[in-house]
């Protein structure tokens, strides 16, 4: 049994229309989903933040930053193309294994293959190929994990699952760096152990996922309009989805500003010795990521209980914005950590409840993975845009004593966060 695809989907989704029967699975499913999502991001981010730069340095110490930039650009381009395509393919897959399970398995294989290429790389092309392969694996698995939430849960029951999925990136950074530190300086174990744990977790989730197969007769014909819609959801026909996309893009610009420039801020503004930066960053991510994980699970359940999403998302974006303002005012590492406490609270609530809200404004339950794939571009595009505009913002008002104006930079990020909060208010169909 499947929903009919008609011109009625030009209207705003009500948040109640969904697949015929939701399972609303219990704690076993939630634990498997959380472990798979967190270990997936731990494997990816531990390479991106820690081990890929180390491998680039081993390839060519004088040009390591260029090597990392080339690999990151390749992965960024791949993500822009692959996220919507992976979602479209998943929605239309007629395998006996179901629509989502094949992409969990593919993700496990690609993560292991990409990690192996990163490990054995002795040149920029091989390292880039490895990093792109890992990102493709993450995209395949992340698409399936995200789509499993609206597939399995009724709209009013999505809070806990959305919380676990939403904070996977924040928690994954901490877990990935911790696993890497356990095996340092053995680069092989630092790369392959997180990848192996990720693959095991994805396969375990694939085993517990009750993924209903579809047959070819249940698929809509893939005409020119459908192909174009792989990369596009009309803002005119689905304004709430467009507002959710814009809000997420604005908030993730603020998040990207902190993630990408934390190390430089600590060195240039707070005058932390570069030797101590790695340890300070781990402590900062442990504090903010751990707090975000705890707060997210509380907020997700509370949002379900009160039956509201928008007030949580608006408040969380504003709290995150206040945290950015506190970073601007920070004059010591201790005050910086207090700012991250505030940001962790805001980020935890946002990542948990915003994803639940997004699942309720998807244009069509039958194309959930494709539409979530497009939504994921709101997460990834800021990682390309923020580094591009950062030099201009950092140069505003710069001087010999203050060569990088982080005050302007983080104030701009705070404005982006505030805009993200305001864009939630007009969304229709979700309380």
Q: What is the mean pLDDT of residues 268-287?
A: 80
Domains defined for the chain, CATH in brackets: 23-216 (1.20.1250.20), 235-431 (1.20.1250.20)
Choice among 17-31, 86-100, 115-129 with the minimum mean pLDDT = 17-31
**Spatial distance between the Cα atoms of 10 and 89, rounded to a whole number of angstroms:** 22
Higher model confidence: residue 375 or residue 199?
199
What's the confidence (pLDDT) of residue 342?
92
What's the confidence (pLDDT) of residue 207?
92
What's the confidence (pLDDT) of residue 15?
39
pLDDT band at 216 (very low <50, low <70, confident <90, very high): low
Helices 101-120 and 187-208: angle between axes, nearest 10 degrees: 170
Of 259, 326, 311, the closest CA to residue 421 belongs to 311
Higher model confidence: residue 216 or residue 116?
116
Residue 145 has pLDDT above 70, yes or no: yes
What's the confidence (pLDDT) of residue 17?
37
- pLDDT 10s digits, 80-118: 888 888 877 887 787 888 888 999 999 999 999 999 999
What's the confidence (pLDDT) of residue 103?
94
Q: What is the mean pLDDT of residues 294-319?
A: 84
pLDDT band at 189 (very low <50, low <70, confident <90, very high): very high
Share of the chain above pLDDT 70, in %: 87
Exposed, middle or buried, 168 (CB in 10 Å: 0-12/13-18/19+)?
buried
What's the confidence (pLDDT) of residue 115?
97
Share of the chain above pLDDT 90, in %: 21
What's the confidence (pLDDT) of residue 219?
57
Task: Please tell me what DSSP assigns to residue 22.
Answer: -
- pLDDT 10s digits, 265-277: 887 788 888 777 7
**Spatial distance between the Cα atoms of 331 and 350, rounded to a whole number of angstroms:** 27
**Spatial distance between the Cα atoms of 183 and 296, rounded to a whole number of angstroms:** 29
* Average pLDDT value for the chain: 82
Q: What is the mean pLDDT of residues 193-204?
A: 96
Residue 366 has pLDDT above 80, yes or no: no
Q: What is the mean pLDDT of residues 50-73?
A: 83
What's the confidence (pLDDT) of residue 20?
44
What's the confidence (pLDDT) of residue 4?
33
Residue 225 has pLDDT above 70, yes or no: no
Higher model confidence: residue 115 or residue 15?
115
What's the confidence (pLDDT) of residue 218?
58
What's the confidence (pLDDT) of residue 400?
65
Q: What are phi and psi of 308, to 5 degrees?
A: -135, 145
Residue 189, CB half-sphere, CA atoms under 13 Å: how many? 9
**Spatial distance between the Cα atoms of 111 and 258, rounded to a whole number of angstroms:** 27
User: How much helix, strand and coil, in percent to the nearest 5, is found in the chain?
Assistant: 80, 0, 20
- pLDDT 10s digits, 413-429: 989 988 988 888 888 76
For the whole model, what pTM was predicted? 0.73
Q: What is the mean pLDDT of residues 240-251?
A: 89
What's the confidence (pLDDT) of residue 347?
85
Q: What is the mean pLDDT of residues 302-310?
A: 82
What's the confidence (pLDDT) of residue 229?
58
- pLDDT 10s digits, 151-184: 888 877 877 888 888 788 878 888 988 888 888 7
Higher model confidence: residue 209 or residue 217?
209
What's the confidence (pLDDT) of residue 221?
58
Helices 274-306 and 310-329: angle between axes, nearest 10 degrees: 160
Handedness of CA 317, 323, 326, 328 (dihedral sign): negative
pLDDT band at 130 (very low <50, low <70, confident <90, very high): very high
DSSP code per residue over 34-51:
HHHHHHHHHHHHHIIIII
């Amino acid at each position: 049994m499947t929903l009919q695809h008609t011109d009625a989907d030009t209207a705003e989704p009500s948040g109640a229309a969904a697949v015929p029967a939701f399972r609303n699975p219990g704690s076993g499913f939630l634990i498997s989903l959380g472990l798979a999502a967190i270990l997936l991001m731990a494997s990816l981010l531990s390479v991106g933040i820690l081990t890929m730069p180390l491998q680039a340095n081993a390839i060519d110490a004088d040009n390591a930053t260029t090597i990392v930039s080339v690999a990151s650009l390749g992965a960024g381009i791949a993500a822009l193309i692959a996220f919507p395509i992976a979602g479209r393919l998943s929605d239309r897959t007629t395998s006996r294994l179901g629509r989502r399970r094949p992409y969990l398995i593919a993700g496990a294989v690609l993560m292991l293959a990409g990690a192996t290429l990163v490990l054995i790389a002795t040149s920029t092309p091989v390292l880039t190929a490895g990093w792109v392969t890992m990102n493709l694996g993450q995209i395949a698995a992340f698409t399936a994990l995200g789509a499993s939430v609206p597939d399995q849960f009724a709209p009013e029951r999505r809070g806990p699952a959305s919380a676990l999925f939403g904070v996977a990136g924040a928690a994954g950074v901490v877990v990935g760096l911790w696993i890497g530190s356990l095996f340092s300086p053995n680069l092989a174990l630092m790369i392959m152990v997180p990848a192996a744990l990720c693959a095991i977790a994805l396969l375990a989730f694939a085993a517990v996922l009750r993924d209903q197969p579809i047959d070819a007769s249940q698929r809509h014909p893939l005409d020119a309009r459908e192909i174009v819609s792989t990369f596009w959801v009309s803002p005119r026909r689905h304004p709430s989805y467009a507002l959710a996309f814009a809000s997420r893009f604005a908030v993730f610009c603020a998040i990207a500003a902190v993630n990408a420039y934390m190390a430089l801020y600590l060195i240039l503004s707070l005058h932390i010795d570069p030797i101590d930066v790695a340890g300070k960053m781990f402590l900062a991510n442990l504090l903010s990521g751990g707090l975000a994980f705890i707060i997210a699970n509380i907020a997700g359940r509370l949002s379900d209980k009160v039956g509201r999403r928008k007030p949580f998302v608006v408040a969380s974006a504003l709290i995150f914005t206040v945290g950015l303002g506190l970073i601007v005012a920070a004059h010591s590492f201790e005050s910086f950590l207090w700012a991250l406490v505030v940001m962790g609270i805001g980020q935890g609530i946002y990542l948990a409840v915003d994803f639940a809200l997004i699942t309720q404004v998807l244009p069509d339950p039958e194309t959930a993975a494709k539409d979530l794939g497009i939504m994921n571009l709101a997460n990834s595009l800021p990682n390309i845009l923020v580094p591009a505009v950062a030099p201009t913002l950092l140069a505003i008002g710069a001087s010999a004593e203050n060569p990088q104006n982080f005050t302007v930079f983080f104030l701009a990020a705070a404005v982006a966060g505030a805009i993200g909060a305001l864009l939630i208010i007009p969304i229709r169909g979700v309380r």
